[in-house]
Amino acid sequence: MQTIIPLSPPVLLPIAGSLVGFPVRRVYCVGRNYAAHAIEMGHDPDREPPFFFQKNPDNLLVADRAFPYPPRTTDVHHEVELVVALKRGGADIPVEQALDCVYGYAVGIDFTRRDLQAEAKKAGKPWAAAKAFEHSAPVSEIVPVEAIGHPVNGNIWLKVNGELRQHGDLDQMIWKIPEVISELSRLFTLAPGDIIMTGTPSGVGPVVRGDTVTCGVDGVAALAVTVL
Ligand code: MN
């Protein structure tokens, strides 16, 4: 069928060492997956079931690395996260089979309008305006599993203007990658092209216009973003 308006182009993430792109279908995010971050946000770090929210594929900041400071906020926070890219999906995926679904890994930033999130939390309202805004998810190139395997530990870090703000280790995740995929697949039918932002270590804080944000997961990828 022809379309009444132009089709939206697919969002493609670059793949390390490759000329082909990774087409993104959905963007899932895990909340409070590092105990130290749960504590800094005023929550109990006990192992409650993971919870999820979403960003839109076209919220990804892919091509250029300039992050325009968003409107209607004065408190945008950085959250560095390991990103998982799926080549396979399904529903009710057992933990033991979950890693078979992974194509590769990247590092990303879950930029958050913290002031709007705080208002939403207080009012019991959704987080969409706090999380799923334009350019809110810069993501690095994807590094295939065949190149690096499945990272289970390693530094995850973020600097603002060269100053270390966030630092943790992947082994501090409350819910590990296979568990995250399995739990997510009990709520949603996953599919090739889905990506998952797996939560942030402690040290989240504000950025302002002119800041240069660098971040990485050692052994996976690094990323640099300028706040406009
Ligand atoms: Mn996050």
For residue 123, report the distance from its CA to the centre of ligand 1, in Å: 20
3-state SS class at 196: strand
What is the CATH classification number for the domain harbouring 79?
A: 3.90.850.10
For residue 113, report the distance from its CA to the centre of ligand 1, in Å: 11
Could you give the CA distance from residue 89 to residue 28 in angstroms, rounded to a whole number? Answer: 13
pLDDT tens digits, one per residue of 170-223: 999 999 999 999 999 999 999 999 999 999 999 999 999 999 999 999 999 999
For residue 102, report the distance from its CA to the centre of ligand 1, in Å: 20
DSSP assignment string, 159-190: EETTEEEEEEEGGGBSS-HHHHHHHHHHHS-B
What's the confidence (pLDDT) of residue 42? 86
What's the confidence (pLDDT) of residue 37? 82
What's the confidence (pLDDT) of residue 17? 94
Domain total in the chain = 1
Q: Is residue 10 part of a domain?
A: no
Q: Is residue 86 part of a domain?
A: yes
Residue-range definition of the domain harbouring residue 116: 16-226
What's the confidence (pLDDT) of residue 140? 97
Could you give the CA distance from residue 99 to residue 178 in angstroms, rounded to a whole number? Answer: 6
Whether the CB-CB separation of 173 and 201 falls below 8 Å is answered with no
Q: Is residue 136 part of a domain?
A: yes
Whether the CB-CB separation of 111 and 228 falls below 8 Å is answered with no
Q: Is residue 196 part of a domain?
A: yes
For residue 200, report the distance from its CA to the centre of ligand 1, in Å: 5
Question: Which contiguous run of DSSP H or E holds residue 157?
Answer: strand 155-160
For residue 5, report the distance from its CA to the centre of ligand 1, in Å: 34
For residue 29, report the distance from its CA to the centre of ligand 1, in Å: 6
Q: Is residue 9 part of a domain?
A: no
For residue 79, report the distance from its CA to the centre of ligand 1, in Å: 5
Residues of the chain with pLDDT under 50: none
